[in-house]
A and B are shown apart, each in its own frame.
Chain A
């Protein structure tokens, strides 16, 4: 893993300047492109070229999936992510969703933790351990498996269900939290993410209140991702944490309703869009 990370870093070291140079040419060629889009132009180019360092995380996640781990020495192969035990294809495209066995609406990480507990015998604490890696550190087994499972839905359409009362409540509470202003800065998610064509510094801000291809999907459909600023693969759970930090809120707990409900709100607003994961991000 450590060697791979180094290898990825070396690859990026060679490829990045070349891509940035190419990015300048692209910008000149597309003079009409708005400033809002321009800031993210190099990311679009990187995504087009591929070779995402998170591909290594997907490989690791794939290995972890069949490896016998935990006190029960069992693999994750029989994990039910909503489409039946062992069905990975398309499962992430329909998360978060309600699970009758836990009685909860669960997102990807939350459900992976359930499987690590029930199939492999890990405690919740062990399963969640170091969920968010340090910048430029190594992603945890949980994140690597999340990258793998999500990638199994690459190029598939997002179809997050809103069938049960629990799923509808998750959406509604996510929406409430989205608009909830608080803290010394009086920020809510809506401060930055409720209008179109807005930027913070040079970074385009997605309008997460909007459905359709130019709305929430601009962001939602490209997670999990490899944010260049982080130097490590990241999932949506981490992104919620990073936003709340900037909102000057206290820290949301991993796999809490606060995080899952917000992801449900964004996800349902992205229904119909095609997933592209992993992607490069700022």
Chain B
């Protein structure tokens, strides 16, 4: 996401956080279910900054807001909005400047196993992990892997390493919303969770024939 776009979004959202006059208690007239006096009071008064987790984290991006809204309402997002969010996320993807997608799969494995980063209890001077294994099965016969996301076992073996696959995989890691507007996967690149080098290392874990993802 471009910095200017982010700024505009945050300013708009800060307006929402500030609250508007005449909002009633449980329902909103704007179609924004979070735009009620009582809910805004929760966001404004019920959280405290701790460590690196400051209150600005409660301000939603446009994608976070639109996805939350439909999930809360229990209604499918209109196709038009879905496409809009996806194309905006797609436009924000930054591909490796040197055209080189692959790093070191051994470093990638460590990133995939590391659940630390950006919590109030974490040291902000240390690099964040990706914690891929929390949600994805990546290594055969290891029971301690989650299933919130699809299995990635044999990822590279099944898909090959064409330019299209490399670009798609990079995009999924950088900002999964580009391919699925309300994906649950964190936007590791767009939200600066992982560095470019770290994402390359995770790419290698997924693609390298010698990595435990593919060496089955």
Q: Which of A190-198, A221-229, A230-238 contacts B (4 or more CB under 8 A)?
A: A190-198
Query: Which chain B residue shows the least CB distance to A255?
Result: B46
Q: Which of B48, B64, B143, B148 contacts A35 (CB 8 A)?
A: B143
- Determine, out of A13-21, A143-151, A210-218, A242-250, the stretch whose residues face the partner at the interface: A242-250
Q: Does A258 touch B at the CB level, under 8 Å?
A: yes
B-contacting 9-mer, from A51-59, A65-73, A94-102, A173-181: A173-181
Q: Which residue of A lies closest to B113 (CB)?
A: A201
- Report the bound CA distance from A148 to B9 in whole Å: 48
Who on chain B is nearest to A197 by CB?
B147
- Chain A CB within 8 A of B187 CB: yes
Known: A181-B67, A187-B186, A188-B68. A258 touches B147 (CB 8 A): no
Q: How far is the CA of A35 from the CA of B187 in the complex (A)?
A: 28
Cα distance, A191 to B119, chains bound together (Å): 16
Task: Write the nearest CB–CB distance from B21 to chain A, whole angstroms.
Answer: 20
In the bound complex, do residue B191 and residue A250 qualify as a contact, i.e. CB atoms below 8 Å apart?
A: no
Residues from 107 to 135 in B contacting A, C-beta threshold 8 Å: 118-121, 133-135
- Residue from the list B42, B50, B71, B187 in contact with A188, Cβ < 8 A: B71
Does chain A have a CB within 8 A of B2? no
Q: Which of B121-166 contact A (CB under 8 A)?
A: 121, 133-135, 143-148
Known A249-B58, A250-B47, A256-B45; contact A185-B118, beta-carbon cutoff 8 A: yes
Complex CA gap A187/B57 in Å reads 11
Most buried by B among A38, A176, A194: A176
A190 and B71 within 8 A (CB): yes
- Cβ–Cβ contact B48 & A246, under 8 A: no
B191 to chain A: closest residue by CB: A184
Q: What is the interface size of chain B, counting residues whose CB is below 8 A from a CB of the partner? A: 48
Asked if B33 is an interface residue, CB under 8 A from chain A, the answer is yes
Q: Is the CB of A250 within 8 A of B54?
A: yes
Total CB contacts across the A-B interface at under 8 A: 142
Judge whether A259 is part of the interface by a CB distance below 8 angstroms: yes
The answer, yes or no, to whether A252 is at the interface (CB within 8 Å) is yes
Interface size class of A (residues with CB under 8 A): 35 or more
Q: Is A202 an interface residue (CB 8 A)?
A: yes
Contact B48 A250 (CB under 8 A): yes
Chain B 38-52 interface mask (CB, 8 Å, partner A; 1/0): 110110011111100
B9 to chain A, nearest CB (A): 12
**Is A181 within 8 A of B60, CB to CB?**
yes
A176 to B187 alpha-carbon distance, docked (Å): 22
Among candidates B120, B148, B193, residue contacting A250 with C-beta atoms closer than 8 Å: B120
Q: Is B59's CB within 8 Å of the partner chain A?
A: yes
Selected from A38, A183, A200, A256, the residue in CB contact (under 8 A) with B46 is A256
Tell me how far the C-beta of B5 lies from the nearest C-beta in chain A, rounded to whole angstroms: 16
Residues of chain A with a CB closer than 8 A to B147's CB: 36, 197-199
B-side contacts of A181, CB under 8 Å: 60, 64-65, 67-68, 71
Would you list 16 pairs from A and B whose C-beta atoms are within 8 A, ordered by A residue? A169-B25, A180-B34, A180-B72, A181-B71, A184-B191, A185-B118, A187-B184, A190-B71, A192-B148, A198-B148, A201-B134, A248-B53, A251-B47, A251-B48, A252-B46, A253-B47
Residues of A within 8 A of B (CB): 35-36, 38-39, 165, 168-169, 172-173, 175-188, 190-192, 194-195, 197-202, 205, 245-246, 248-253, 256-259, 261
Closest 7 CB pairs of A and B: A258-B46, A256-B46, A179-B72, A181-B64, A251-B50, A185-B186, A183-B57
Not counting A172-B26, A183-B57, A188-B68, a sample of 6 additional A-B residue pairs whose C-beta atoms are within 8 angstroms of each other reads: A198-B148, A199-B148, A250-B48, A250-B54, A251-B48, A261-B42
